[in-house]
Amino acid sequence: MTTTTIDLFASALLFHTDGDVRAAERRMAGGDRDAWQIATFRVTTDADVHADHWEMHPTAEEAVCCLTGGVRLYLRPTAPGATEDMVRLRPGTAAVVPRGRWHRLELDAPSELMSITHRDGTRLEKRTATH
């Protein structure tokens, strides 16, 4: 096997339970049932991080990592009438989103982000006035 470089802003890395690591197309949902995806993103607007949608990963937790810039991670309330929880991420920080917890991002500044999760079953839901 020849070792080559991988552009982390163009591809994702898939880590399989059998120990294999492969570069692949980044996917926001679905994907390989046997792989964890590490993906990095350069984002400049809230639209780049789908701030108008909630996201949820039913099969695994997600590490949301801020490499540069700044981002706010919102967690949807789990009880009716409760407010969103917000975690502010600065460069070099991360937060772990619990498995099955709806979340979204908003930018404080253009940023480089990294996401580490198992994407099988990932769901997106349009944000509404009630959640």
- Residue 6: inside a domain: no
- Listed in sequence order, the residues at least 6 apart from 7 whose beta carbon sits closer than 8 Å to its beta carbon are none
Into how many domains does the chain fold? 1
Domain residue limits at 75:
12-124
Residue 28 sits in a domain of what CATH number?
Answer: 2.60.120.10
- Residue 68: inside a domain: yes
**C-alpha to C-alpha distance for 43 and 120, rounded to whole angstroms:** 23
The answer to whether residues 122 and 29 touch, using CB atoms and an 8 Å cutoff, is: yes
Reading the chain (131 residues) residue by residue, the pLDDT tens digits are: 578 999 999 999 999 999 999 999 887 666 667 899 999 999 999 999 989 999 999 999 999 999 999 999 999 998 988 999 999 999 999 999 999 999 999 999 999 999 999 988 899 999 986 66
**C-alpha to C-alpha distance for 39 and 4, rounded to whole angstroms:** 18
- Residue 84: inside a domain: yes
